[in-house]
Amino acid sequence: MEILYLGDETLRQPSKLVEHIDDELRTLVRKMFITMDNDKGVGLAAPQIGKNIRLFIAKIDDGVEWVFINPHIIGTSEKQCSYEEGCLSIPKMYAAVIRPESVTVQFQDMNGRRKTIEATGLLARVIQHEYDHLEGVLFIDRLAEDERNKIIEKFTQQQERKKQREAKKRMRQ
């Protein structure tokens, strides 16, 4: 399963509701956890793998695997905090992002049951970051314009160098 990178239009499209929780969706979720773990992430949204549906997963330090289907953030704390974020769709790029310290989210689990949780700490951060993906928003959109532009430029240069290395490698074969 490949992760889409900055520049792919799929990342900028709002996602559609998940209509059915079935074996196909369960298989997708399993593959998403494998992909996220392989890339050493803590969260992954379906749009990042080219699926325009309202689904994201998270796994933080405690090892609990969270699956959020059709999530809706219904509340956030007034207190905000800054924390360095990165994104599997913009690899090796990090910046401090200000977000609410806690969040209340309603969602469906893998059995279709509706749940509501209040999250704090890293889980709250991951929920907000991945929820943004479902809206077509990337973490760099929450930065000042000059900082966002620096990251985009650096990422573009990184991707260009990667393409050049791959082309040289193919020529040697």
Supply the pTM of this predicted model: 0.92
Where in the chain are the domains?
A: 9-144
Find out if CATH 3.90.45.10 is the number for domain 9-144: yes
> Could you report the per-residue pLDDT of 46-90, keeping only the tens digit for each?
999 999 999 999 999 778 999 999 999 999 999 999 999 999 999
Averaged confidence pLDDT in the chain: 95
Q: Quick check: is 101 catalytic?
A: no
Burial, 114: exposed, middle or buried (Cβ in 10 Å; 0-12, 13-18, 19+)?
exposed
Tell me the per-residue pLDDT of 120-151, one tens digit each, with 9 for 90 and over: 999 999 999 999 999 999 999 999 999 999 99
Specify whether the CB–CB gap between 32 and 49 falls below 8 A.
yes
The strand order across the sheet containing 102-108 reads: 43-45, 55-59, 65-76, 102-108, 114-120
Q: How confident is the model at residue 168 (pLDDT cuts 50, 70, 90)?
A: confident
Catalytic residue among 2, 130, 160, 166: 130
Segment 3-27, tens digit of pLDDT? 999 999 999 999 999 999 999 999 9
